[in-house]
Amino acid sequence: MNVFLSAGIIFTLLVIGFCLLRWGNMKCTGTSPVKTFTFVAILFTSGLDVGLIMFPLTEFAGYADHEVSPEYAFTNPLAIEFATGAF
């Protein structure tokens, strides 16, 4: 398994390096260009989407198993998922 993970990381780094060498100096402007701070804010909120919404979905089955986790027996798993995104 470690071989596959290492190969994936190496491949990803090679592709990033290729893209930076090939298109690293290209100016990217569109019809409504934004400043760097705005672009970083957009990337940050995209990361929040993954962290707050997608990652808790991996624990969805654990919320439904009331023998293993009786503390979640008061409601259904979907309500817990919505509640974690609200905070």
d(C-alpha 50, C-alpha 31), whole Å: 28
pLDDT of 82 reads: 73
pLDDT per residue over 49-66, tens digit each?
776 667 667 777 777 788
Instruction: Give the predicted TM-score (pTM) of the model.
Output: 0.42
In the chain, where the domains are located: 2-86
pLDDT of 13 reads: 96
What does the DSSP assignment read for 4-69? Answer: HHHHHHHHHHHHHHHHHHHHTT-----SS---HHHHHHHHHHHHHHIIIIIGGGGGHHHHH-TTT-
pLDDT of 36 reads: 85
Q: What is the pLDDT along the chain (87 residues), one digit of tens a residue?
A: 789 999 999 999 999 999 999 998 988 778 888 888 988 998 888 877 776 667 667 777 777 788 888 888 888 877 777 776 655
Residue 24 has phi, psi (to 5 degrees) of: -65, -30
